[in-house]
Structure 1
Amino acid sequence: MTDSPNSSANNKSQVPLIISAIIIALLIQGYFFIPEMRQGVNEAWNVLTSEDDKKIKQWVNGFGWLGPIVIIVTMVVQTFLLVVPTVALIVVAILAYGPWWGSLLALVAVLTASSVGYVVGKYLGRIFVDKMIGEKTEKKITAFIKDYGFWSVFLVRFNSLLSNDAISFVGGIVKMKFGKFITATAAGISPLIILIALFSQSMEDLKSGLIWVSVLSLAAFGFYLWWDKTR
């Protein structure tokens, strides 16, 4: 008895999930059974969430010329694990390398992570992404992107209160043109990076600034949605 085409397609669609599950299982086992790995992960978590300027600079500078690569790789990894917020890694880059080079590094890291997320969504598909972010979330973002295209991605990137990661996966799933997707990402994240660079010397000012900008941008977009629906 031969397998039906649907059964064959189902088997193929499960392959990415199986590979991902194996990788995640290996990482979890490594954390619990390899002391060096556990120590490294714990140290990175403590530093990245410490909000201590000196500690962050020392940690990043300890990697030498690999520091920028570590930040970019961490940005890509957090896209999948959602452990450290994108904003926190932008702050780390700016604190470690200054407002100019740090901002450039943060932009490159975000664009790289967004591109990886887009490719994963486009080529691994809906089943893989649904397992990561949930089917309901994926459907809501899909509808959001289909309705507002460029501006949906722009708003999510610009607003620090919204998840930056799910939009990349779903952008790939709906096969949004990559040029439009990456341009919207750059246009949305750049003002946020500039804002962080301006206020990075004062964490309290930075937090309040990000909250105000996020709330105002959400309010403005909410007004646009209302106007668009009643037009």
Structure 2
Amino acid sequence: MTKKNSKSDIQQSKAPLFVSLGIIIVLILLYFLVPSYQQFLNEAWQVLTSNDETRIENWVSEFGWFGPVVLILAMVFQMFLIVIPSLALMVVAVLAYGPVWGSIISASGVFVASTTGYVIGKYFGPVLVKKMIGSSSEEKLENFINDYGFWAVVITRFNPFLSNDAISFVGGVLKMGYWRFIGATLLGISPLILFIAILGNNTESMKTGLIWGSVVSLILFVLYVWWDKRRKKSS
């Protein structure tokens, strides 16, 4: 009975993968059959992957009031297209809309993207998540969240060097409480957004500060993990 049930579970868990493949096929067909859709995607790809913040800012500004929506959607899609860093999109939001509205747009983008990743992980299951981020990364993040829970999400969000987006998927797979997860996400990302808002107009100083801040926070966290593991072994 157990073996039959496990086989049935595996087959059911693959169903969302087939649905996702179906959606991808439809989008590919639209790309080749609808010229305006193809043109927009080509332009969006070229601009968002250019690493030219001024070019991205100008492109986003052309959308007027719809620009913030474009940035938020870009933050969602960047979970699947790693070549578009979410940090760069936050910088663009601040440059295009100022420190206050840029921060609000950035926080909204992180909120929507994190919720999307969480829902995918929770309802589409580990099979799809492993396909997307790899079995090794998924297992490491699972252990990380199991060991440190709320603070694992906070630290990961705070440090751009860590797997920011992958933790959303894994948080959903582990069925971590949604409000606990999203609270940790917003708490961890807030200092980063504030830092970008303050130094957004001076990109060189901001990049230097982000690198040093990330390195220091990463070293401190590694030391904490090392100390915590030694403490657990001794007890």
After the TM superposition, which of the residue ranges 115-124 and 29-38 deviates more from structure 2?
A: 29-38
**What code does the residue aligned with 1:205 have?**
S
Q: 1:134 to 1:51 in 2, by over 3 A?
A: closer
SS in 1 for 2:160: coil
- The residue aligned with 1:172 is 172
SS in 1 for 2:80: helix
Deviation at 1:44, TM superposition (A): 2.1
Q: 1:8 to 1:53 in 2, by over 3 A?
A: closer
Deviations 1:130-182 (Å, cap 9, x if unpaired)? 11001111000000000011111011100111221100000011111112111
Structure 2, unaligned runs of 5 or more: none
- The residue aligned with 2:143 is 143
After the TM superposition, which of the residue ranges 31-40 and 159-168 deviates more from structure 2?
A: 31-40
- The residue aligned with 1:62 is 62
- The residue aligned with 2:39 is 39
Q: CA contact under 8 A between 1:48 and 1:92: conserved in structure 2?
A: no
**What code does the residue aligned with 2:204 have?**
E
Deviation at 1:50, TM superposition (A): 4.2
TM-score, with structure 2 as normaliser: 0.89
**What code does the residue aligned with 2:220 have?**
A
- The residue aligned with 2:186 is 186
TM-score, with structure 1 as normaliser: 0.90
1:23 aligns with 2:23: yes
Deviation at 1:49, TM superposition (A): 4.1
- The residue aligned with 2:207 is 207
Deviation at 1:18, TM superposition (A): 0.8
Deviation at 1:124, TM superposition (A): 0.7
Q: CA contact under 8 A between 2:125 and 2:173: conserved in structure 1?
A: yes
CA distance in 1, matches of 2:82, 2:52: 21
Q: CA contact under 8 A between 1:94 and 1:200: conserved in structure 2?
A: yes
After the TM superposition, which of the residue ranges 194-203 and 98-107 deviates more from structure 2?
A: 194-203
Q: CA contact under 8 A between 1:151 and 1:184: conserved in structure 2?
A: yes
After the TM superposition, which of the residue ranges 32-41 and 77-86 deviates more from structure 2?
A: 32-41
SS in 2 for 1:167: helix
Structure 1, unaligned runs of 5 or more: none
Q: CA contact under 8 A between 1:158 and 1:192: conserved in structure 2?
A: yes
- The residue aligned with 1:126 is 126
SS in 2 for 1:109: helix
**What code does the residue aligned with 1:58 have?**
N
After the TM superposition, which of the residue ranges 139-148 and 179-188 deviates more from structure 2?
A: 179-188
Deviations 1:30-54 (Å, cap 9, x if unpaired)? 4456543343233223333445454
